[in-house]
Structure 1
Amino acid sequence: MKLPALLLLTVWLNCPAALSSSCSRAPADWCSSLDSAVRCGVLKHCLESNLTRPHQTADPVQVGLYYESLCPGCRLFLTGAVFPTWLLLSDIMSVTLVPYGNAGEKPDGQKYIFECQHGEQECLGNMIETCLINKTNYAFPIIFCMESSSDVIKSAKSCVEIYDPELSWDNVMSCVNGNLGNQLMHLNAMKTKALNPPHKYVPWVTINGEHTEDLQDKAMSSLFELVCNLYKGPKPPACGEGQRHYKSYCHKG
């Protein structure tokens, strides 16, 4: 089984044995087999998780985040609200990240040229994160690692090495610099342009595919509380706890 998000963070912080040379698996795979759990020193945690993890029957709350990699408000919301909420409530919510935001595109033969609100570095950051979403199941922790660092771009390689050591950086950059990344970013552009109503700023949040100003305000004020309130199945124990508030936008020029 995959290690639940909250347990993953707990084990990562409290199990130094998992960092030993005998543990070569990515953190989220520590519980994937008895052998890897033993090698990484987390057998007890894996067994406890398997016994106590709730089995949800209702559909998860779908959170869509349309954002830019270097937008200060996006970074704050992603690292301070979306990722922590997902860590606590990953059993009852799903997150779709769409890094594009207020960017623009124009066709150039069979490819597209992108212009980003915060310059070429943001286009690069958007492209790296887009390729990560395509290349690895651990994209969200890697993107959190990037967005919470002092330098989003420079931290990318080390963040990949931490959360998915089996993914080579050359593989990521091949996507970034090639046709795959260009087409994936074009898909992000189309998803963003298809928003109804059209986005006016980022971060722009959809809940179960819908955007209203009321849902946006509630998500920005307390995404945690919103997800707990909207989930139609039995509430997990974490629901009911408070969450810090974040509200900062990068308006579309």
Structure 2
Amino acid sequence: MTLWPRFAVHLLLVMGVSEGSHPKPSCPYPPSQWCRSLQIAIECQVQKQCMELNATRPSPGRPLVEVTLYYESLCPGCRVFLTQQLYPTWTMLQDIMNLTLVPYGNTQELPSGTSPFSCQHGEAECQTNMMEACILHLAGDASLHIIYCMESSTHALHAARPCVALYAPALSWAAVECCAQGGQGVQLMKDHAARTQGLNPTHSHVPWVTIDGEHREEVQEKAMASLFHLVCDLYKARKPPVCTGVQVKLDRSLC
């Protein structure tokens, strides 16, 4: 999946915003969307910063590093990896990587019964897996931010509604609930089941990471140790400054 516009989050990481370019209170967009279009950049008065960031983009048309995470929503190890490795890495390197999330893990399909799935961490995990599958399907560019928000919370499932309201205010919560409580959510989970069960080699644990569609234990170990450095190393075109440590002269004025 493609998640969020390029360079949006970098605006917060690599520079300050001067008094003249700080968005007025009426700017109706969060910082993550300031560089989504010229119209938004003008409305939020950050054209200069967006143009500077655009100039540092990696070469277009180069193959991105494909990262896929197979996980389950209430697995402690998955939550740590997603919140402390995957999300920060994607925030900084979304211009050179494509990210796919597959919430299923060690779930098992049941032939009959009131619930079509049995999850390693109980019914709450089945419900959260399905909720996150629906969010991935419905929330588009905001989905990773919502799932990070949920997985960072004390109770991931209870956090879903406020996280959706925070990161995807235009998305109807009724649509999310309808998906998670109905046939659409079940079908999404079946799709994730087929994808997970089709892994070669078969997954033996989660989190399970594939890079460019392949899983190797030495790569998994590198991903768990520092996904950021792994993605930087694997990207074969001109690396972004955040990978190389090269200083880029941008507007770094402060408020």
Normalising by structure 2, report the TM-score.
0.83
Q: Hey, what does 2:135 align to over in structure 1?
A: 132
Q: What is the distance in 1 between the residues matched to 2:24 and 2:117? A: 40
CA RMSD in angstroms, aligned pairs only: 2.7
Q: How does 1:204-219 map to 2 (within 5 A)?
A: 204-219=208-223
Give the deviation of 1:214 after TM superposition: 1.0
- Whether the 8 Å CA contact 1:3–1:29 is kept in 2: the answer is no
Q: Does 1:161 align with 2:168?
A: no
Stretches of structure 1 that go unaligned for 5 or more consecutive residues are 242-253
Deviations 1:196-240 (A, max 9, x none): 111111001111111111111111111111111111111111114
**Cα distance change of structure 1 residues 112 and 183 upon mapping to structure 2, 3 Å threshold:** farther
C-alpha distance in structure 1 between counterparts of 2:194 and 2:17, whole Å:
42
Change (3 A) 1:121 1:46: same
Establish whether residue 117 from structure 1 lines up as the match of residue 120 from structure 2: yes
Per-residue deviation at 1:31? 2.8
Match of 1:81 in 2: 85
Question: Aligned to 1:83, what secondary structure does the other structure show?
Answer: helix
What is the CA–CA distance in structure 2 between the aligned matches of 1:58 and 1:35, rounded to whole Å?
Answer: 27
Rate the CA distance shift 1:175–1:202 in 2: closer, same or farther, 3 A: same
Aligned pair partner of 1:183 in 162, 180, 187: 187
Moved more, 176-185 or 29-38: 29-38
In structure 2, do the counterparts of structure 1 residues 194 and 156 end up closer, same or farther at CA, with 3 Å as the change threshold?
A: same
* Contact 1:3–1:30 (Cα < 8 Å) also in 2: no
Which residue of structure 2 lines up, in the alignment, with residue 149 of structure 1?
153
TM, length-normalised to structure 1: 0.84
1:30 aligns with 2:34: yes
Q: State the percentage of identical aligned residues.
A: 51
3-state secondary structure, aligned to 1:185: helix
Kept in 1, the 8 Å contact 2:8–2:33? The answer is no
**Is contact 1:131-1:176 (8 Å) kept?**
yes
Going from structure 1 to structure 2, the CA distance change for 1:122 and 1:86 (only over 3 Å counts) comes to: same
Q: Which runs of 5+ in 2 are unaligned?
A: 246-255
Please say if residues 67 and 98 of structure 1, whose CA atoms lie closer than 8 Å, have aligned partners that are also in contact.
yes
Match of 2:196? 192
Q: 2:171, 2:24 → 1: CA distance?
A: 17
Q: 1:52 to 1:235 in 2, by over 3 A?
A: closer
Inter-partner Cα distance in structure 2 for 1:95 and 1:32? 19
The total of aligned residue pairs comes to: 238
- Relative to structure 1, the CA distance from residue 79 to residue 164 in structure 2 (aligned partners, 3 Å threshold; closer, same or farther) is same
Q: 1:182 to 1:62 in 2, by over 3 A?
A: same
Inter-CA distance 159–9: structure 2 relative to 1 (3 Å threshold): farther
Asked if the contact 1:81–1:224 (Cα under 8 Å) also holds between the matched residues in 2, the reply is: yes
Q: Where is the strand percentage greater, Structure 1 or Structure 2? A: 1
Cα distance in 2 for partners of 1:60, 1:37 equals 26
